A = this chain, B = another copy of it.
Amino acid sequence: MNDTIEHPQIPAFVLVRPQMGENIGAAARAMWNFGLDRMRIVAPRDGWPNPSAVAMASGAGRLLDDAVVYDDLASAVGDAAFVFATTARDRDLTKPVYSPEAAMAKAAQMISEGRRVAVLFGPERAGLENDDISRANAIVSVPVNPAFASLNLAQCVLLMGYEWMRAQGDVVSEQVEMAGTNWADHSEIEHLARHFEERLDTAGFFYPDHKAASMKVNLRNMWSRLPLTRADVQTLHGTLRQMVRWKERG
């Protein structure tokens, strides 16, 4: 089956010589988390279909049913106008290097212009070979701790899928901060919340009983959401103490 006709609006994710079926299934799940369902598989080590892949893919099994299997990379990307090769290691190939974010932004742009995009993921152990990478238009380098680059196949797929979804357009604007403010820390808020809860409990506020738990959650949620300063917290403690004194004066 030809996936390019049915899903022209998203990139194809191409697993190159994947080894464990479980990892193929996990990759399918990772893709589908971000609405990606065009999987291509080049020369899977254990053949195809693969029952271990199906077992792992639960909920995303349709991606495996629809996956297109190729004998070699060249035919798997034959229809692509632009091919990205993902890698965690540095390569000495002269080739443009994109961050995942920049790569998926470019993919979204090209796809909106009607061009087909493929993203390559290498085998679990060694990643893509230089011969594979040489067929790509650009490298995508995932920024990881140089002392510990241990992304597995599904995790690499996950990050690219995540960036694909982000490239679909999230709009965030400016935040306002209050510089130099002496904010209450979490334990101070916790203490305040507990103080209110105890006093209000004594005062009979949490009524009827079956609503008490959710009333307490709502109240606690309010305290932790409000941007309270240390001074605010002291004031609020003070108001509560004063109400108690007032009560005790009778």
Q: Pick the contact of A136 from B115, B176, B224 — CB < 8 Å?
A: B224
A7 to B222, CA, bound (A): 30
Shortest CB-to-CB span from A222 to chain B, Å, is: 5
Interface membership of chain A positions 153-177, coded 1 if the CB is closer than 8 angstroms to chain B and 0 otherwise: 0110011001001100010111111
Shortest CB-to-CB span from A83 to chain B, Å, is: 6
A115 to B238, CA, bound (A): 26
Shortest CB-to-CB span from A78 to chain B, Å, is: 4
B-chain residues with CB within 8 Å of residue A247 when the two chains form the complex: 243, 246-247
Stretch at the interface among A15-23, A43-51, A92-100: A92-100
Answer whether A78 and B186 are a contact pair too, CB < 8 Å, given A170-B143, A220-B134, A243-B203.
Answer: yes
CB <8 Å contact, A33 and B246: no
B-chain residues with CB within 8 Å of residue A71 when the two chains form the complex: none
B-chain residues with CB within 8 Å of residue A106 when the two chains form the complex: 175
A183 within 8 A of B: yes
A221 within 8 A of B: yes
Shortest CB-to-CB span from A162 to chain B, Å, is: 6
Shortest CB-to-CB span from A175 to chain B, Å, is: 4
Candidate in A143, A199, A221 with the most chain B CB atoms within 10 angstroms: A221
Chain A positions within 8 Å of B, measured between CB atoms, are: 29-30, 32-35, 59-60, 74, 77-83, 93-96, 99, 101-102, 106, 109, 115-116, 118, 130-131, 133-138, 143-145, 148-151, 154-155, 158-159, 162, 165-166, 170, 172-177, 183, 185-187, 190, 196, 199-200, 202-205, 217-222, 224-228, 231-232, 235, 238-239, 242-243, 245-247, 250
